[in-house]
Amino acid sequence: MSTDAANRGLVLVVEDEPAIADLVRLYLTRDGFGVHVEHDGAAGLAAARRLRPVACVLDIALPGLAGTELCRRLRQGGDWTPVIFLTARDDEVDRIVGLELGADDYVTKPFSPRELVARVRAVLRRTVGVPAGADQTRVVGPVTLDPERRTVSVAGAPVRLTSTEFDLLAHLMNRPGRVFTREELLAAVWGYAAHSGTRTVDVHVAQVRAKLGPAAADVIRTHRGVGYAAAG
């Protein structure tokens, strides 16, 4: 791996089909990423723990250890490296399960390699805080969000969110009372169009609410038939 290829950091790709893995490697490398490829889940888990990549691209249907189980074990171990799933089927159940396990995004096969690279870059942008010294702390009810440190707390107790969950909550809290449609949230947070499925937004909102807990139950409000808003 050349120095030029690692300018954006190392991406771990776990994909059991060599042709797909090579294609993903090619396009990520062209975009300035270093790439490490594994072809089964157990090896992918070991690589994720050893190499500490900036992001992981995981096939769901991996031999030995499924991509969803790989993600679950990372999250259980406190590793919140951004995860993007590759799935062979446009199966909503698979996607929702993956998102509930803490994945940040998913791409359905067959996919455009350029779109996948764009998704990786979008996820990584969400992990970058605001410039140091900028006081942009947001408080809605018992929830405090610090964009610079990318931390969230409820009544002083820290809450751990994925990068996507954090960015969704931040987007809502930046404009308390403003109702965002699901399509607007997809565009602003995920960076892609509504055809990718507004159900993704619903799943992430549910996950954020669950993590914030009962004390913050009213912080994100549902506006039926429209979308979501932070309490104003």
Evaluate if residue 137 carries a pLDDT over 80. yes
Whether residue 130 is contained in a domain is answered as no
Longest dimension (CA), the chain: 51
Domain count, the chain: 2
195 in the same domain as 113: no
Q: How many CA atoms lie within 13 A of 74 on its CB side?
A: 32
**CB neighbours of 107 closer than 8 A, spacing ≥ 6?**
84, 85, 86, 87, 115, 116, 119
Residues 200 and 113 in one domain: no
Residue 132 counted as domain residue:
no
Shared domain for 9 and 118, answered yes or no, is yes
State the CB neighbour count (10 A cutoff) for residue 133: 6
**What pLDDT, on a 0 to 100 scale, did the predictor assign at position 110?**
87
Domain-ending residue, one of 75, 103, 125: 125
Q: Which CATH number characterizes residue 52's domain?
A: 3.40.50.2300
Please indicate, yes or no, whether residues 13 and 121 belong to a single structural domain of this protein. yes
| Interacting residues of 118 by C-beta distance below 8 A, sequence separation 6+ | 191, 192
pLDDT band per the 50, 70, 90 thresholds, residue 187: confident
The 8-class DSSP code of residue 136 comes to -
Asked whether the predicted pLDDT for residue 22 surpasses 90, the reply is yes
Q: Is 167 part of any domain?
A: yes
Q: Does a structural domain hold residue 90?
A: yes
Domain that holds residue 58: 4-125
Give the model's pLDDT for residue 5. 40
Listed residues 125, 152, 172: the one ending a domain: 125
What is the sign, positive or negative, of the torsion defined by CA atoms of 180, 131, 103, 26? Answer: positive
Q: Confidence class of residue 149 from pLDDT cuts 50, 70 and 90? A: confident
Rounded to an integer, what distance in angstroms lies between the CA atom of residue 90 and that of residue 55? 23
pLDDT in tens, 195-208: 456 788 898 999 99
Instruction: Indicate if 175 and 111 belong to the same structural domain.
Output: no
* Contacts (Cβ under 8 Å, ≥6 apart) of 189: 126, 164, 167, 168, 171
- Assign 220 a pLDDT band (cuts: 50, 70, 90): very high
Cis peptide before 110 (omega within 30 of 0): yes
How does residue 192 score in pLDDT terms, banded at 50, 70 and 90? low
The pLDDT assigned to 2 comes to 37
b/e per residue, 44-54, with b = 16+ CB within 10 A?
bbebbeebebb
Q: Summarize pLDDT for 73-112 with one digit per residue, the tens.
A: 999 888 889 999 988 766 666 667 777 778 888 888 888 9
In terms of domains, do 178 and 142 share one?
yes
Residues 118 and 149 reside in one and the same domain: no
My answer on whether 16 and 120 are in the same domain is yes
Task: Tell which of 71, 103, 125 closes a domain.
Answer: 125
